[in-house]
Amino acid sequence: MCTRSSSCTVNEGRHFESVYVMAHEIGHNLGMRHDGLQAGNNCDPGRYIMSPTLGSGKITWSSCSRRYLDAFLKSSQASCLMDAAEAEDSHLDHDADSLPGQRFPVNQQCMLKHGAGSYHASSQKLEDICEDLHCRRDHYTWTSHPALEGTTCGHRQWCRRGKCVEDSNAPGLSQELLMSSSSTGNGLGSGDRGGGAGGEWGPWSECRSSCLYGVDGALSSGSSGLALSERRCRTCREEYRYRICSAVEECGTGQRRTVQDFAHDICRSRSRSMPLLTGLAKRVPLRGPTQCEVECETTGHGVQSSDRSFPDGTVCQSASNFPAFCVAGVCTEFRCEPDALYGADPVTCRPDMGAPDPHRPLGPNPRPPAFTTTRHPATSTFTSGDRQWGAWRPASNCRFR
């Protein structure tokens, strides 16, 4: 730190996530090593600022970092740090001024990270943004960074040190929503709404699908079509509902790309700016909380989040028998209740609407097609010897590969 030739770091600051990169690099200048056994310590390599990889929730220092810093400050290398600082940047004092999360509402944080048109993903609970903010744009969801200090995460609640905490100084939820609306014109609090109550549901959109196929080559094991409906509210969050729809015709004409191909393409693109990545995706998990997130392999045989999720409608696995699909980066069950925000295909549901029929396949099956019989002149007789053939009947569900 006190050597002229090695006392600085060069960092590119493009969005708020950059502060954690800068803190990490400054930590190296102050004698800190990476966390983990490879660096000679027993601190968790995936939890703190000095982790060897970027990732969600890494916003605090480990006990190992503290020991490295203490050792550095006791050494002669830290002599230049003992003089008093001359500059005072009072406008950066979080206690004297408004917190950054109040100056930059949640949607603006998304826009600074992912560009114009980005906004907080409505599928994410507000109290979870303090650990990792999920942003939405063009039907895709990205993780970004922990929401800034002071970002509203509930009524009279805001983010402090990566946690959503109650505080009488925090603004009310509706105030934040209105402020977010006037600042971004998108996402929370946006649109022409009346009365404060939820409005009527809008019309269903056309069926849309990413047309990703499963590893077995079947569309039904890779992705479904989804239709979307929306209703708005002046003082509460927008609400969306989804229903499964068939995208067989839409997907039958394009290039066949699997879920794993999609993940490889994302990781290949990310590796151009992140040499740590190999350009290959981790094998798509069949279960677990991260199955809707694209994770990339690293040169150190580890994995790192790509900050991208699989498209809406990608098949995932839930703990129940209900069909499940990725929506805004989260594996979501599509249920049979008539008023469900995520509606399963009626042909998979039992009459009581309580659970899917275990005898029907889960996923984006359209209603079984009507079967017709065409009698060819050469084979128009349905008798063979003394036996007479019965009428044709369905023998399987429609399969599309």
Residue ranges of domains in the chain: 4-82, 100-184, 192-378
pLDDT tens-digit map of 70-85: 999 988 888 888 777 6
> Residue 158 phi/psi, 5° resolution?
-150, 170
Name which residue leads in pLDDT, 231 or 365.
Answer: 231
* pLDDT the model gives residue 350: 61
Q: Return the amino acid letter for 349.
A: C
Which residues participate in the annotated binding site for Zn(2+)? 24, 28, 34
Classify domain 4-82 at the CATH superfamily level: Collagenase (Catalytic Domain) (3.40.390.10)
Contacts of 11 (CB under 8 A, 6+ apart): 18, 21, 22, 25
* pLDDT the model gives residue 90: 59
Confidence band for 101, pLDDT divided at 50, 70 and 90: confident
- 244's tokens: 């499964």
pLDDT tens-digit map of 256-270: 889 999 999 999 988
Strands 152-154 and 157-160, bridge-based pairing: antiparallel
Contacts of 149 (CB under 8 A, 6+ apart): 94, 99, 100, 101, 158, 159, 160, 161
Which residues participate in the annotated binding site? 24, 28, 34
CATH of domain 100-184: 3.40.1620.60
Q: What is the pTM of this model?
A: 0.49
* pLDDT the model gives residue 95: 59
Across-strand partners of 281? Answer: 296
Average pLDDT over residues 48-75: 88
Which positions are catalytic? 25
